[in-house]
Chains A and B, each alone.
Chain A
Amino acid sequence: MAYAATTTPAKNTDPRDRGGEAQPLLMVKGLLKYFPVLGGVLNRKVASVQAVDDVSFEVAKGETLGVVGESGCGKSTTARLLMRLIEPDAGSVIFDGEGVGEQHGLSVRDMRRSMQMVFQDSYASLNPRLTIEETIAFGPRVHGVSGKEARDRARALLGKVGLDPNLFVRRYPHELSGGQRQRINIARALALEPRLVIFDEAVSALDKSVEAQVLNLLNDLKRDMSLTYIFISHDLNVVRYISDRVLVMYLGKVVETGTVEAIYGNPRHPYTRALLSSMPSMDPAQRTTAPALTGDPPNPINPPSGCRFRTRCAFAEGVCAMVEPRLEIVADAERHAAACHMEIAGSGHSKAIPQLAPQIGPQITGAVA
């Protein structure tokens, strides 16, 4: 994978690397989670929320994958499924060539040592009865590091995230500001020396001036500790700033993926285009006069048939209700793929190019073949 190699030339020096440079750090295939909706007199399953429905993607070593979408699109559920905080109904996760939770693969416990997560609510995700030092040292101690060494590691990490260890080790979470607490959460996530960190709306609750400080910190840490990030956010500006590649989700499905340049410069899916045009312009002379989309995202309990976006799409036609569009490559060089009938040659949509004689580019079911 040429792209991964160009972004991280020094990757092969990492002793933890098992699969080699070309092996994506994370491969997700057909991830699926339906939450049951219980009801009726006997409290039986009456419906299911299709939170994450057949999601596939890859994250190359040293890359930052941004995940965007509106609330209820399944981005946080995807993160929790990756961490096995909830069990997926189907699908496989391959971490550096080893299947997670599979026989002869990587155990969930070992996966969590290599993969950590930072949550949005910096206060709720810290134990109020542990000091900062105890909080950061907790993970390493569970994983068999001696108490002294774990404390030393906690102090070193505090320095790395820009907090003076001498001032902060004895404090409790309630004594810190939101930005400081989020730095503690980042330090805790790094305490096990993970290779992949998932940020679930980790900067969304912070003030703008503090958000910028934390984003700079994340870039520094990524460089210094050769990390790979999955960065989940609803803020398209932040995702553009921090990501190499972007995954756009809608109602539990991946609708478009590609490099930042491709997604922001040449969005192909109507939903991505609507999402981008909903970003405030920052220019009072060029205000948005008409919203790009009407209505709210539909209920994921009974998602629309065929293409899930068709109920809000200006270009919806008969084929959109009948056939679910597959995620297909639209520009190979930018690893750009979109799930829209208008982009699929011969799909039957009036705006699609008629069927080409030989198929150009491989057809794929996941993000990247």
Chain B
Amino acid sequence: MTAALRQDAAPVAAPATAPLVSVEGLTVKFKGGDGSIAAVNGVDFTLERGKVLTILGESGSGKSVTLKAMMRLHPARKTTYGGRIMIGGRNILALSERELVQVRGSVVSMIFQEPMLAFDPVYTIGHQIAETVVRHEGVSRRDADKRALDLLEMVQIPSAARRLKAYPHEMSGGMRQRAMIALALSCRPDLLLADEPTTALDATVQMQVLVLLRQLQREMGMAVIFVTHDMGVAAEIADDVAVMYAGRFIEAGPVGPVIGKRLHPYTEGLLASTVHGASRGERLETIPGSPPNLAKLPSGCSFAPRCKYVEPCCRETDIPLFHPEPDHSARCLRIDR
């Protein structure tokens, strides 16, 4: 089974075939000045090794919060987690700080939208990659330097030997993002988390990085969770897509059906409002209103205030997941009819 939202665990799931990642009922709440904000409200999914799950959503939908929760990167004092995150047999939410440091980088690692902020500006790229390798794998400095060079060549940075001695500010945006990928892959993680890594790049460079990521993912047999707001990027990289709204997966399934045979009105609206293919002068279909305030979510379906098919029953109870296809699911009462 791929990254579909299947809550009824597969009966055949022996430990040997257990998925790499399994997330059950994940909730993330932040304590703020005035009450708490429910950023993630019950997310379930599983992800196999060697698969790419894309979480698609608008700003404030909770996609980046979900991703950071996978590494427990939120500030501990202000964050309350609920549910369970299992990665490679480890219960991430139950690990001690010390164990967590071991897991970050070697089992799970992450790339960000703005690599300039992720690198330390006062050390060279080569130094930072080698340091990570020494820290996690305990190899000698010389071997680590060798590995850093191999990694830069792997991410197709031209004249890699010279680039090892470069500082982050001396590189272009596309080059920095490649170096960031090299750093993230330096300890051969099982799971790579990618938080909009191509959003800040130019169109031609974005496609280079997407093709590179897909190639590396296949070669290393790595699982990837890729967060984006761009439907086109999802179509390029995903095996499975989960559409997120107000802290929940409202639709999930393999990329073809989610784009081609979408079930949820929000996914439908999102696709209709992208200008792909819309011809000039034609009015774009829009989703009225804006995403809900996470501090006070509406009862029932959180998309109901913006939905064109809304009925009174939508506001009454929480909407369960419906599975019209075994691997394609959505939270909408219209599916049940």
- Supposing A209-B286, A288-B211, A292-B207 touch, asked if A281 and B235 sit within 8 A by C-beta, the answer is yes
| CB–CB B232/A293 < 8 A | no
The answer to whether B140 has its CB under 8 Å from any CB of chain A is no
Chain A positions within 8 Å of B299 at CB level: none
The answer to whether A112 has its CB under 8 Å from any CB of chain B is no
CB contact between B208 and one of A210, A240, A241, A294 (< 8 Å): that residue: A294
In B96-144, the 8 Å CB interface with A consists of: none
| CB–CB B208/A284 < 8 A | no
Number of residues from B at the complex interface, CB < 8 A: 46
Question: For this complex, into which size category does the number of interface residues on chain A fall?
Answer: 35 or more
| CB–CB A274/B204 < 8 A | yes
In A262-295, the 8 Å CB interface with B consists of: 274-275, 278-285, 287-295
Which of A212, A216, A236 gathers the greatest number of chain B CB atoms within 10 Å? Answer: A212
The answer to whether A70 has its CB under 8 Å from any CB of chain B is yes
Q: Which secondary structure characterizes the binding site on chain A?
A: loop
CB contact between B232 and one of A281, A295, A297 (< 8 Å): that residue: A281
The answer to whether A125 has its CB under 8 Å from any CB of chain B is no
Chain B positions within 8 Å of A169 at CB level: none
| Bound Cα distance from A240 to B279, whole angstroms | 8
Query: At the interface with chain A, which of B26-34, B70-78, B145-153, B270-278?
Result: B270-278
| CB–CB A179/B204 < 8 A | no
The answer to whether B172 has its CB under 8 Å from any CB of chain A is yes
Which of B204, B269, B270 gathers the greatest number of chain A CB atoms within 10 Å? Answer: B204
The answer to whether A238 has its CB under 8 Å from any CB of chain B is yes
| CB–CB A284/B238 < 8 A | yes
| Bound Cα distance from A215 to B272, whole angstroms | 13
Chain A positions within 8 Å of B174 at CB level: 295-296
| CB–CB A280/B230 < 8 A | yes
| CB–CB A290/B172 < 8 A | no
Nearest neighbor of A242 in chain B, beta-carbon distance:
B280
| CB–CB B208/A208 < 8 A | no
The answer to whether B259 has its CB under 8 Å from any CB of chain A is yes
The answer to whether B284 has its CB under 8 Å from any CB of chain A is yes
The answer to whether A363 has its CB under 8 Å from any CB of chain B is no
| CB–CB A296/B172 < 8 A | yes
The answer to whether B160 has its CB under 8 Å from any CB of chain A is no
Q: Say how far A82's CB is from chain B's closest CB, in angstroms.
A: 23
- Supposing A280-B235, A283-B235, A296-B173 touch, asked if A208 and B58 sit within 8 A by C-beta, the answer is yes
Which residues in A have some Cβ–Cβ distance to B below 8 Å? 70-71, 177-180, 207-213, 215-216, 219, 234, 236-238, 240-244, 260, 274-275, 278-285, 287-297
Known A219-B281, A242-B280, A279-B232; further 11 A-B contacts with Cβ < 8 A: A212-B273, A212-B285, A215-B275, A219-B283, A237-B275, A275-B203, A280-B230, A280-B235, A287-B236, A292-B207, A293-B204
